[in-house]
Structure 1
């Protein structure tokens, strides 16, 4: 069965809609939960860094399991939509839990609550994210239509992230009142977000349709499936590049509020600085889709990686600048260009990953979207888990003190993680990815052979 024709707009909307809620949740967790924990709940950054590190390592284990099982799931809803349905309650419930620790909890009990909440949230998101990403390449085989599908998905995700900025500003404003006000506001916002995200996932389950010819196309054990992933030369290269990228970028979301408050000296501008990143990330998607057709997805993704590295690398200069005004202008300008590159990467990266899955089908005759996207998530979350753990301990041992003016040494430690590390890692990733060879011509050749084989079967 060929699915190379353009997707109907309703399918694109239904596929993209849940990521508005998911983008909201991920950004609010990524940007604010560390600050919420250290400044409001008074949990040490080392402990929270350890919790986040454990959660990402656990995700790296659970993602492959969910990916493999979803590939083999047989349900009247299909092998992906059934998982989306099952994810609704845990995604909403765990997000609310993270922002709603009882006021009476202190010490070890509070740490346990946050550990269960954080680890539970990321586990619940695995139930949604891996099957949802896996559904994308099943909706269309077309080389460039996939960029369109994932581009709108990225735009929807970014819209949710922008809405999260409003919530974050409300929480920052509440900090000026009292810790109790922050807790109250966090509970109200998380409950509303949980209900809306549940409704958007339900909409996707109802409106999306899956291909019946892909229901039972995986016959291996989990180890056999992931052996195929690693044996795929295109996948192996992208897995290595993904790991290196995320070693560099893992702490960007985590440290943005810290950079704005303790390095730039303008905590009130944090939402606007993040908005300067989010708006071009979302609005530039229609630009990258035609450019990918003209210059190719490989070149465009390389451009995205290099621009990301340079944009964040420039932020290493922040603590060396005397004027708050100069620091503010620099971070705004660099955030804009980092946002442009994020729009490109969010559109192109999953599209390239989908093409790699077609190469596996050409070699094995099986469709293992779940296993492949689980593998990509595995290396991403492993890198993030390591770096979040490192970040917590770096802050602890550099002498970080919450809600106080930081020493130059602490600021330097922050911008090393926030700026210098992304520059080094994205430069290395760009150089490695230059070896990638699955371009439009090669993909068309592979798809033609697959379609001919399937028609003759």
Structure 2
């Protein structure tokens, strides 16, 4: 059984630094949402990239993340040990917005494989810069002298602002790109405008982290084994493996659904403009229910609350597999159920991660977080890739901007079942893995 660190004085974090810290997630929400929502569709229906190649374009850049995120985590720990902070990596990550804009700035003459190569190059650059910001950002809760419930409170603030970023960017991005008549120029306009907002939010987040560290500084700790030894130590941690394994399945599922929204709206529901409605139904409930998940976690524990969220997501996905015969109100309600569950699946695992790190008792918060973000990045790649494979298996035909293609019945069935049955199956797998996590009771007793 994993040993839990001894009790420590817990600090109640002031609201101002909490809000400042959370603001960093507003910019991160744009990167989490817009490529996942629009990039696959941008490739297949604007740049005329075949579905199988579009899927690889989103998958292969993530391979580097699996190795580089833990390395960034290790460098993050080195910075913490040498300088007492992780600020240099955070500032480097603030170069993400230009890479985001370049992702959609595909030159007019490029289509097919050439366009896919352009997107892949800037997707790699953006993922690395995102990791440089995300890893030290998410290591912050484990650095602070706070307890079990305060870590959940900190991540609840982060979740509300992240949800706001996801909602605003998810609603604005399709509209700025041109809605039903999206063009290359529209996608570029969208990317430049959202990149400016990302930069401002990420800068505020860096300042907020500094204020949090002054409000609840952790005792100084020496730097433990680094590099591959630190990575191996984190992977030997059974509780961490179980939590990360379940989160891999959760991340894969949510990104699969996000990638499928534009296809489901246009081909199943008959109108591309309904993408905005479905995104709003998925994301908006999280702004309302996150405080409820916080209360539920206090009453029954994070583990039991998370299992409930996973079960609700699987149930809602099954309704979406019915498709148009269920009726638009029922389908929108099912997406809202996914949104409620999504809020819990963002708040609870991210507040359980510092519980695992503190229980391990070693100064390797960055390495643990690097492995965690690599897991998240892998899920973000596997989800769209799995949906692209569904489209390819069904015979979905790619097209350029302004072209109209009549899809076969097999293609329509594939995009519907890929949006409903496949997410339900993967989420059940997440639930089964999550049930093996047993640290929650001991971490709660620590508080």
Pair in the same fold by TM > 0.5 = yes
Query: CA deviation digits over 1:297-345, x for unaligned, max 9?
Result: 11101101111111112211116x2xxxx43122201011111111112
- 2:177–2:190 CA contact under 8 A, matched in 1: no
Residue 114 (str. 1) matches residue 115 (str. 2): no
Which of 163, 175, 182 is equivalent to 1:158? Answer: 163
Cα offset, 1:208, TM superposition: 2.6
Cα offset, 1:351, TM superposition: 0.7
Q: 1:219 to 1:409 in 2, by over 3 A?
A: same
Cα offset, 1:109, TM superposition: 3.7
Which of 386, 390, 411 is equivalent to 1:394? Answer: 390
- 1:314–1:419 CA contact under 8 A, matched in 2: yes
Residue 88 (str. 1) matches residue 94 (str. 2): yes
Query: CA deviation digits over 1:224-271, x for unaligned, max 9?
Result: 212221222211211222233344444111111101111122322220
Which of 359, 365, 375 is equivalent to 1:369? Answer: 365
Which of 125, 140, 143 is equivalent to 2:148? Answer: 143
- 1:56–1:381 CA contact under 8 A, matched in 2: yes
TM-score normalised over the length of structure 2: 0.89
- Counterpart in 2 of 1:13? 19
Residue 61 (str. 1) matches residue 103 (str. 2): no
| Greater CA drift, 237-246 or 127-136 | 237-246
> What runs of 5+ residues in structure 1 fail to find an aligned partner?
448-457
TM-score normalised over the length of structure 1: 0.87
Residue 234 (str. 1) matches residue 235 (str. 2): no
- Spell out the pairing of 1:170-319 with structure 2 (5 A cutoff): 170-171=175-176, 173=178, 175-176=180-181, 182-209=183-210, 210=213, 217-318=222-323
- 1:49–1:393 CA contact under 8 A, matched in 2: yes
Question: 2 CA distance for matches of 1:49 and 1:313?
Answer: 24
- Counterpart in 1 of 2:381? 385
Cα offset, 1:78, TM superposition: 4.4
| Greater CA drift, 123-132 or 215-224 | 215-224
- Counterpart in 2 of 1:454? none
- Counterpart in 2 of 1:407? 408
Q: 1:257 to 1:226 in 2, by over 3 A?
A: same
2:94 partner SS = helix
Q: 1:231 to 1:76 in 2, by over 3 A?
A: closer
2:322 partner SS = helix
- 1:259–1:415 CA contact under 8 A, matched in 2: yes
1:267 partner SS = coil
- Counterpart in 1 of 2:435? 434
> What runs of 5+ residues in structure 2 fail to find an aligned partner?
1-6, 399-403
Cα offset, 1:188, TM superposition: 2.7
Residue 41 (str. 1) matches residue 41 (str. 2): no
Cα offset, 1:432, TM superposition: 3.1
Query: CA deviation digits over 1:194-251, x for unaligned, max 9?
Result: 2222222222223433376566533213222122212222112112222333444441
- Counterpart in 1 of 2:78? 72
Which of 99, 107, 120 is equivalent to 1:102? Answer: 107
Cα offset, 1:116, TM superposition: 0.8
Number of residue pairs matched by the alignment? 432
Q: 1:316 to 1:278 in 2, by over 3 A?
A: same
Question: 1 CA distance for matches of 2:432 and 2:310?
Answer: 10
- 1:301–1:344 CA contact under 8 A, matched in 2: yes
1:144 partner SS = helix
Cα offset, 1:106, TM superposition: 4.3
- 1:70–1:370 CA contact under 8 A, matched in 2: yes
Query: CA deviation digits over 1:391-448, x for unaligned, max 9?
Result: 33432342112443433321222233221122222223223322322235x225557x
- 1:72–1:215 CA contact under 8 A, matched in 2: no
Q: 1:100 to 1:443 in 2, by over 3 A?
A: same
1:17 partner SS = helix
Residue 127 (str. 1) matches residue 139 (str. 2): no
Question: 2 CA distance for matches of 1:184 and 1:248?
Answer: 31
Query: CA deviation digits over 1:171-196, x for unaligned, max 9?
Result: 463552xx6xx333322332222222
